[in-house]
Amino acid sequence: MTNSSALFAFYNLLIRHYERWEVIEKGKLMEGAGRGGKTTAKRRPRQRVLQRDPERTRAAILEAATQEFAENGMGGARVDAIAERAGTNKRMLYHYFGDKEQLYLHVLEEAYVGIRTAERALHIGDRSPEEGISDLALFTWRYFLKHPEFLSLLGTENLHRARWLRQSVRLKELHSHLLGELEQVLERGKKAGVFIASADPLNVYLTIASLGYFYLSNQYTLSTIFGRELSEPDNIDAWEQQIVHVTLASIKA
Amino acid sequence: MTNSSALFAFYNLLIRHYERWEVIEKGKLMEGAGRGGKTTAKRRPRQRVLQRDPERTRAAILEAATQEFAENGMGGARVDAIAERAGTNKRMLYHYFGDKEQLYLHVLEEAYVGIRTAERALHIGDRSPEEGISDLALFTWRYFLKHPEFLSLLGTENLHRARWLRQSVRLKELHSHLLGELEQVLERGKKAGVFIASADPLNVYLTIASLGYFYLSNQYTLSTIFGRELSEPDNIDAWEQQIVHVTLASIKA
DNA sequence: CATCAAAGTAACTGTTTAGTTACTGGCCGG
DNA sequence: CCGGCCAGTAACTAAACAGTTACTTTGATG
């Protein structure tokens, strides 16, 4: 047994070095690589400008993973594809993020941090209650429009019943700010007599998010079955107006 | 070359029959099988009552595939898992449906036929315009509530930009009935002065569907980030009222 | 009751996959 | 200016995967 396994190891060594020679000698390097052209400098490493940059590599992996998970879901995403998109190697991915699941969780957390951070900059309480609500509706819609990968990640995470989001420790207190500010705006509107007394912050937010989310995330099947291209600018604009109209109509006194 | 391949074939034969002997002799049959206990009768096939039933097998595969695709998406679904759930064999799945993609398309088509068929039985034009709209909203919401697998399949299909639905020939004329009937109801309401002139059939349907779809399909992440269990009966009932309220408020004159 | 096509089975195959290992080479503190 | 550490690489592995093959069983038909 020891003999044959030693023989096998030697055979592997042979194969390995033969293949390497083949690669170097025949110039077979990276035929179908990613978009970036930064993969050539293998034979003369000195040509590269910056070779070791942990921060940049980490960020590239996170960005690539966001794309891959958004396009293919957790089940369909491929670790090799992420590494290639990031212009790096699978080993680095495991080095920085542990495994596929933890990488996915990082991507998801980053996406939530993104929208909640942008939301905070809104200050919906600064103008009249009606303008505040319509600002929130417009912001949410336009953020969804600009960040389809966020919607996609939400869909994937819900397919798995929030299996990974539940494990997140970073996200517990991230969302309370939104509901708090929204409640203040609604209260001011009720006192001013422009909003009905039953208007509820969570319901209002869910209404706004529903109308934006469904239109965008289901646009492909909807366009197909109803024979109307929902992604056309005119239809997009019309739906933006519909969202503001519906939201305000549902709480107006 | 011929010699060694004959040797290889003989080796395979040996392995194969050794393994079969091992399975039969040592009683290794189906340790971790599915829920059903109907897998034992392997050594004595005569014990089974009804062994050949194409219709039932086909239906079982379709049902099992619906569950598997809904739970795991197209990328995450496993062909072996579908066969096991159906209490049959992978070979049958390929026999009846060709391959994984065609099976998925059948599941998707069946799901759409389901909701559109139930919708036709509604006859929303039979009562007052307002009751018609509220009936449609209630029906849609309750159908979504009863058929989470439909919502899940929609999500999966949209993740892939309706790649398979677009190929479907069965579904082109299935959906026009809904918009036609809805338009008639809206027209009657406008003439009676209870609906605004700008009320549009597609917008109204999208509004109804949005509110139901988002709440249910995103309930897991929403419950997590807002710390309120959306699946609780009280919250479900409250949202049903919200849907009817919002829909009517958005078109009332 | 022999035949034969369709229904059904389980083992097999080539490929893809997440994750690992063994190695290389640049860079910073001494 | 050098030695060890760490970013980075590519080849490897075991398991899982979709799809196939070779074969057996069943029941309707002559």
CB contact under 8 A, A207 and B206: no
Contacts of A160 (CB under 8 A, 6+ apart): A74
pLDDT of residue B54: 75
Q: How do the domains of chain B map onto residue ranges?
A: 53-98, 101-251
Q: Measure the CA–CA gap between B36 and B111, rounded to whole angstroms.
A: 25
Lookup: tokens for B52: 């050949």
pLDDT above 70 as % of chain A = 79
Lookup: tokens for A170: 């970073």
pLDDT band at A196 (very low <50, low <70, confident <90, very high): very high
Lookup: tokens for B109: 């088509």
pLDDT band at B243 (very low <50, low <70, confident <90, very high): very high
Cβ of residue B71 lies below 7 Å from strand D: no
Closest chain A residue to the Cα of B173, Cα to Cα:
A225
Q: In chain B, how long is the greatest CA-to-CA distance?
A: 90
Collapsing DSSP to helix, strand or coil, A161 comes out as coil
From the CA of A246, how many Å to the C1' of C7?
A: 56
pLDDT of residue B22: 32
pLDDT of residue B176: 85
DSSP symbol at B195: B
Contacts of B155 (CB under 8 A, 6+ apart): A155, A158, A159, A217, B73, B217
pLDDT tens digits, B118-153: 999 999 989 999 999 999 999 999 999 999 999 999
From B174, B220, B226, residue closest to A179, measured CB to CB: B226
Closest chain B residue to the Cα of A241, Cα to Cα:
B203
Q: Looking at CA atoms only, how far is residue B24 from chain A in angstroms?
A: 30
Closest chain B residue to the Cα of A109, Cα to Cα:
B225
pLDDT tens digits, B178-231: 999 999 999 999 999 999 999 999 999 999 999 999 999 999 999 999 999 999
Considering only CB atoms, which chain A residues are within 8 Å of B250? Answer: 245-246, 249-250
Q: Measure the CA–CA gap between A249 and B247, rounded to whole angstroms.
A: 9
pLDDT of residue A51: 55
Collapsing DSSP to helix, strand or coil, A169 comes out as coil
Collapsing DSSP to helix, strand or coil, A29 comes out as coil
pLDDT of residue B171: 80
Contact B105, B167 (CB under 8 A): yes
CB contact under 8 A, A206 and B222: yes
Architecture of domain B53-98: Orthogonal Bundle (1.10)
Q: What is the mean pLDDT of residues B100-126?
A: 93
Cβ of residue B56 lies below 7 Å from strand D: no
Q: What is the mean pLDDT of residues A68-95?
A: 91
pLDDT band at B34 (very low <50, low <70, confident <90, very high): very low
pLDDT above 70 as % of chain B = 79
- CATH class of the A105-251 domain in this structure: mainly alpha
From the CA of B53, how many Å to the C1' of D22?
A: 23
Lookup: tokens for A11: 């055979």
Write down the ipTM of this complex: 0.80
- Whether B155 shows a pLDDT value over 50: the answer reads yes
Please, what is the Cα angle at A24 between A23 and A30, to 5 degrees?
55
More confident residue, A251 or A51: A251
From A159, A174, A250, residue closest to B245, measured CB to CB: A250
Q: What is the mean pLDDT of residues A120-144?
A: 95
Helical H runs in chain B?
2-26, 54-76, 79-85, 90-97, 100-120, 129-146, 148-159, 176-191, 201-217, 219-226, 233-251
Beta-carbon contacts below 8 Å between A and B: 141
Q: Measure the CA–CA gap between A137 and B56, rounded to whole angstroms.
A: 50
CB contact under 8 A, B155 and A158: yes
Q: Looking at CA atoms only, how far is residue A113 from chain B in angstroms?
A: 12
Collapsing DSSP to helix, strand or coil, A252 comes out as strand
Query: What is the distance, to the nearest Å, from the Cα of residue A137 to the centroid of all Cα atoms in its chain?
Result: 21
From the CA of A33, how many Å to the C1' of D2?
A: 37
CB contact under 8 A, A225 and B154: no
pLDDT band at A75 (very low <50, low <70, confident <90, very high): confident
The pLDDT mean for chain B works out to 81
* Cα atoms in the Cβ-side hemisphere of radius 13 Å centred on B23: 11
From the CA of A108, how many Å to the C1' of C25?
A: 35
Positions on chain C within 7 A of a protein C-beta: 6-13, 16-22, 25-27
Lookup: tokens for B236: 């479900």
The pLDDT mean for chain A works out to 81
Q: Which fold has domain B101-251?
A: Tetracycline Repressor; domain 2 (1.10.357)
- Whether B32 shows a pLDDT value over 60: the answer reads no
- CATH class of the A52-98 domain in this structure: mainly alpha
pLDDT tens digits, A82-97: 999 888 888 888 999 9
pLDDT of residue B168: 86
Considering only CB atoms, which chain B residues are within 8 Å of A158? Answer: 155, 217-221
